[in-house]
Structure 1
Amino acid sequence: MPQVLITGANRGIGLALVQEYCQQQWQIIATCRHPEQAQALQQLAQAHSNISIEALNIGDNEQIAALAEHYRDLAIDVLISNAGIYGPKGYSLANLDFAAWQQVMDINVLAPAKLAQAFFPHLARADSGVFAALSSKVGSHTENTKGGGYIYRSSKAALNSVVKSLSNDWREHGIKTVSLHPGWVRTQMGGPHALIDASESARGLKQVIDSLQMSQSGGFYNYRAEHLPW
């Protein structure tokens, strides 16, 4: 069976991705900070033997390295860096929380870069590995016509840059990368008034990953496979 690793797999889009890959008979490593509290994920794993749950705080580089070492002989076909945080809301330039900004950058940018570094050997062992990072269209400079949102916007723009650089560095190894906008999803982050549910987003995201060509590596796409501008 093909192998996928999904971070932030305990709820929202992450959990929906686990369900989607499970239905299609992938072997899944599902990570979250507190597996003992992830009831829905635990129930899914109890019902399906192809799901393994691992504790991982993606803000902890040592934990990432330890997980990579634990699976050091495994080929991973797809790694989905899904876990992330939004940070403060309702602020202006005059009252920016720089400590919170640093935390958002640590989780949304540095952590995916560390995942890429640690799991490069696993992706390289696969026939055609894919590193997919959950981004957002608010990280697009072209789409930014309203201003504000400095913290989250900048973190997703920086993440897109990481994904683009990885695409160039990994091309010779046959590994593809992609930044993915999941849509406005009804999750804890997206809120109850969002346009789509997590299952619809997850189905689309998987289809984009499944059909990704090397010529598209490093690109920025939404869950409908539409190319997004930088």
Structure 2
Amino acid sequence: MTSVLITGASRGLGLEWARQYAEAGWRVFASCRRPEEANDLKALAVRQPRLSVHRLDVTDSEQLRTLQLDLEEARIDVLLNNAGVYLDKFMGDLGGIDYEVWLRTFAVNTLGAVRVSEAFIEQVARSEKKRVVTVSSHMGSIAEIADPGSYAYRSSKAALNAAMKGLSHAFAQRGIGLLLLHPGWVKTRMGGPDATLTPEQSVHGMRTLVENFKPEMNGRFFRHDGSEIPW
């Protein structure tokens, strides 16, 4: 059975990824930091018996090791690095930067995705589809920075892009394809109510890219609509 492991699946885009893949008949390993509070995800699991809920804080090496052992024999066709934070969205500008927030942002957005990708490379390599998909942001495109602010978030996503670009070359040696995706401006807790896309629209577009992956797309950075983003 085709399977997907999703991080940050308790709400927003992660929950929508889980819903769409489950409804498509996939085996879904949906992870989040606090499963006991993930009411929408647990309700989805009741309706979709192929979906299981797992505890994972991507910054916690012990939790990652536990999940790695739980899924030791699994085949993961798509490893989906979705977990992320935007802690400096309302942070002050110069003179008000919180460097602890910056470090926490890097721990989740950059190191977390790399940790998970490294931990599950064997499960992905033994699958049929062999995909690693990382949800980034156009805000990590240095070419598209046109305003001040969001220094922690922007730099964490730029670093994520650089790390994943490097990993794409290593993974290619195992037959694994890697995609970096920008979901667009989506109506989630992070995106806010004025966003132009619903989670359903965004994830549908990104899933189409995943399904239509070709070797020449490896390590490249795309919007949900398929247009490429400059680094």
TM-score range, shorter chain: over 0.9
d(CA) in 2 for partners of 1:20, 1:168: 29
d(CA) in 2 for partners of 1:167, 1:65: 23
Percent of residue pairs identical: 37
d(CA) in 2 for partners of 1:229, 1:212: 19
The CA RMSD measured in Å over matched residues stands at 1.0
SS of 1:95's equivalent in the other structure is coil
Q: Does 1:107 align with 2:108?
A: yes
Q: Give the alignment's TM-score, normalised by structure 1.
A: 0.97
Q: Which residue of 2 aligns with 1:125?
A: 126
d(CA) in 2 for partners of 1:216, 1:79: 16
Q: Does 1:27 align with 2:27?
A: yes
Q: Which residue of 1 aligns with 2:80?
A: 80
More displaced, 138-147 or 101-110? 138-147
d(CA) in 2 for partners of 1:70, 1:90: 38
CA shift for structure 1 position 99 = 0.8
Aligned pairs for 1:133-144 within 5 A: 133-144=134-145
d(CA) in 2 for partners of 1:59, 1:194: 29
d(CA) in 2 for partners of 1:128, 1:195: 31
d(CA) in 2 for partners of 1:160, 1:182: 14
**Structure 2 portions without partners, runs of 5+:** none
More displaced, 140-149 or 171-180? 140-149
**Structure 1 portions without partners, runs of 5+:** none
Aligned pairs for 1:1-230 within 5 A: 1-88=1-88, 89-230=90-231
Q: Quick one: which amino acid aligns to residue 114 of structure 1?
A: R
d(CA) in 1 for partners of 2:149, 2:71: 41
Structure 1 residue ranges, 4+ long, deviating more than 3 angstroms after superposition = none
CA shift for structure 1 position 147 = 2.9
Q: Quick one: which amino acid aligns to residue 84 of structure 2?
A: G
CA shift for structure 1 position 103 = 0.3
Tell me the number of residue pairs that the alignment of Structure 1 and Structure 2 aligns.
230
Query: Which whole-Å deviations, capped at 9, do the CAs of 1:98-127 have from their partners, x for residues lacking one?
Result: 111000000000011100110011111112
